[in-house]
Amino acid sequence: MSTSSSPLDRERAHLDSSRAALRAMREDAEALDIRDVTANWVNAEVLQRQIDDRIKALADLSHTPLFFGRLDYLHAPGVDLAEGAEGEQFYIGRRHVHDAEGDPMVIDWRAPVSQPFYRASKKDPMDVALRRRFGYTGGALSAYEDEHLSDPAEVERTSKLLQQEIERPRVGPMRDIVATIQPEQDEIVRSGLAGSVCVQGGPGTGKTAVGLHRVAYLLYAHRERLARTGTLVIGPNASFLHYIEQVLPALGELEVRQSTVDDLVAQVEVRGTDSAEAALVKGDARMAEVVRRALRSHITLPDEGVVVVRGSRRWRVASYELADIVRELMERDMRYGAARDALSQRVAHAVLVQMERAGEAPDDRVQDAVARNPAVKALVKAVWPAVDPAKLVLRLLSDAEFLAEHAEGLLDAAEQKAVLWVKPARSTKSAKWSAADAVLIDEASDLVARTHSLGHVVLDEAQDLSPMQYRAVGRRATTGSVTVLGDLAQGTTPWATRSWGEALAHLGKPEAVVEELTAGFRVPSDVIAYASRLLPSIAPGLAPVESVRENPGAFEVRAVSGAGEVVAACVRALEREGSVGLIAADSRCGELAGALGAAGLTFLAPGEETTAESRLTLVPASLAKGLEYDYVVLDEPAAVVAGEPDERTGLRRLYVALTRAVSGLQVTHTSPLPPQLAPRRA
């Protein structure tokens, strides 16, 4: 038993008083009476929502400790280190808590004074005398661990608490890593809002985690600006977004939009699919020029002048003068729609000049009226017609001649044939648009009217995007910055990214810094070593991930005779603690679902939340990306490879599937393994 003055007791006392302070902060927020300060009900509603959000953010969650670390500075931090700069000892947690006097009890992990918690080392102690990490058991503070960073006599050790946190079993959605962000990750998390960053990292190196924490950090450091401009996290599919959706709210950020690329560009209903060949051409950056040419082909030079009748007078602008205006607008860097509006104003201006010459004194209202005059409208309609982006793309995909005219010198005959619909659609409503078509429409829309740009966009699993998709994301961040996260070895689309330089150019952020993460937090060493045997075939330049897990992992490859034995492997995995994922080629999932059902095992679909009662998920290989399970049973590697159009993509899909395991992997197979994974002779 510890005495009443033991350090642990003192820390528990600080936890208790911090929780009491948080309670008081929440009660203050709840007691706010806004009736007197709001002038109308709209304001009242907005304000009340903000207060409700604050109350929610001030909740004391029993499973998320209020603080996880403590820093004792050698000296009081300088005044430039804003929050709580007068103190020398800081508790670091998920959110800021202050006492009745306004003095900090817990400092937000994102505040400048918290930074040494993540970055300080024996080599660079950053003025920190003591770094203390706290361990919790079921919400109760149960342990602590000290590092005296400025004491040269103390030897550097790896933190046990850190190791425990990394190795703990996974159940439920993704959790934040705020207590254990590593120095190289922290550099990315805290890099400035102005610059774009691209992170290449193998499976489980924390890319997704880093991207989400970066959003939380940026929202803290640039709250007002980002509240105005908005932030967006883009992920590969709905199950992935569901898996990660809890992380930002856990960090107190409720306002971040999450979307797939497909949803981002969903102006039309997607009901069709493309052949790989068609999708490859449609996703190629050359299509941007095809669309641009097709749009501009609507502009013609007028061959007649325009006559505007006002009262008893007629004003005439000659065709050569109109042609000059049109030519000048074509040369300007303006959107098609904006230039169209400008055209009527320019013509009106030409009329006004004549009026002035004739001794009249027209004002702006006259110019507007002339711009709306039927003759001017008719002229604009004839020489610069309104264009519907979907109709434009529909015509490109339906009309071989129209496509040929605008694809000349860009797409060869075979490529043109690949993108043309076999059965041309009659209307934008009845067309069976594919995901790639929707991106083309998005491109056309942006040429007509500028797309709204956000303050910051995080793009996860970026390696799977086509150049046209990169452009679609890039135009949503023209005035903001981007965090691009990906792994070239995990690209499983026919158009997968070959180099980050190329991808960043398509995004419009060629200046972005490319960082690499190499320490693996998910996959145990034996499993990553096995999966890395595929690397020379799928991404020759990339180095294998180095697992930071101490446990090499349970790993087994087993030849089996059928689905019954796969089910048995799942049963064995379920005997252990944590979640279990049975990953299989999409084509095999039906049979396996039947076998699991017959054995009385219930299972979830990816994205459905695992719980202590329901821990088994049947995962089609095509949806495994980004997810993780404590134990993975990987069914029939050869079928996973065969499920893709070519061998390299198949092996990449297999690499993704092999790297979902946190604690152990069982590979079961009836067919021979791909040669890279075949048993090696001793």
φ, ψ (nearest 5 deg) of residue 104? -70, 135
Output the smallest distance, CB 252 to ligand ATP, in A: 18
Output the smallest distance, CB 243 to ligand ATP, in A: 9
Residue 607 binds ligand ATP (CB under 6 A): no
User: Exactly one of 628, 630, 635, 636 binds ligand ATP (CB under 6 A); which one?
Assistant: 628
Output the smallest distance, CB 656 to ligand ATP, in A: 7
Residue 374 known to bind ligand: no
CA distance 211 to 43: 34
Nearer to ligand ATP by C-beta: 166 or 383? 166
Distances 246 to 123, 176, 198, 230, 378 between C-alpha atoms, Å: 36, 8, 23, 19, 54
Residue 520 known to bind ligand: no
497 Cβ contact partners less than 8 Å away, ≥ 6 residues apart: 462, 463, 464, 465, 486, 488, 491, 503
The mark string for 471-490 relative to ligand ATP (x by CB under 6 A, - otherwise) is: ----------------x--x
Residue 637 known to bind ligand: no
**DSSP bridge pairs for 667:** 557, 634
Output the smallest distance, CB 464 to ligand ATP, in A: 11
Binding-site size for ligand ATP (CB under 6 A) equals 22
Nearer to ligand ATP by C-beta: 481 or 659? 659
Amino acid (one-letter) located at 616? L
Residue 272 known to bind ligand: no
Contact 196, 482 (CB under 8 A): yes
Output the CA torsion 232→236→241→243 (10° steps): -140
- Crossing angle for the helix pair 467-474 and 435-448, nearest 10 degrees? 40
Residue 467 binds ligand ATP (CB under 6 A): no
Nearer to ligand ATP by C-beta: 84 or 204? 204
Pairing of strands 519-520, 554-559: unpaired
Nearer to ligand ATP by C-beta: 397 or 531? 531
Contact 453, 477 (CB under 8 A): yes
Pairing of strands 306-310, 313-317: antiparallel
Residue 650 known to bind ligand: no
Residue 177 binds ligand ATP (CB under 6 A): yes
Residue 180 binds ligand ATP (CB under 6 A): yes
Site for ligand ATP in 205-234 (CB under 6 A): 205-209
Residue 626 binds ligand ATP (CB under 6 A): yes
Contact region with ligand ATP (CB under 6 A), list: 200-208, 276-284, 556-564, 594-602:
200-208
User: Exactly one of 66, 166, 348, 595 binds ligand ATP (CB under 6 A); which one?
Assistant: 166
Output the smallest distance, CB 96 to ligand ATP, in A: 22
Can you point out the beta strands (E) in 518-608?
A: 519-520, 546-547, 554-559, 580-584
Greatest Cα pair distance in the chain: 104
Residue 206 known to bind ligand: yes
Residue 464 binds ligand ATP (CB under 6 A): no
CA distance 279 to 141: 54
424 Cβ contact partners less than 8 Å away, ≥ 6 residues apart: 397, 398, 399
First to last CA, the chain: 54
Output the smallest distance, CB 125 to ligand ATP, in A: 21
Residue 184 binds ligand ATP (CB under 6 A): no
The mark string for 492-531 relative to ligand ATP (x by CB under 6 A, - otherwise) is: -----------------------------xx---------
Residue 202 known to bind ligand: yes
Residue 417 known to bind ligand: no
How buried is 516 (Cβ within 10 angstroms: 0-12 exposed, 13-18 middle, 19+ buried)? Answer: middle
Amino acid (one-letter) located at 557? V
**Binding residue ranges:** 201-208
**Binding residue ranges for ATP:** 201-208
Residue ranges that bind ligand ATP, judged by CB under 6 A: 165-166, 177, 180-182, 185, 201, 203-209, 487, 490, 521-522, 626, 628, 659
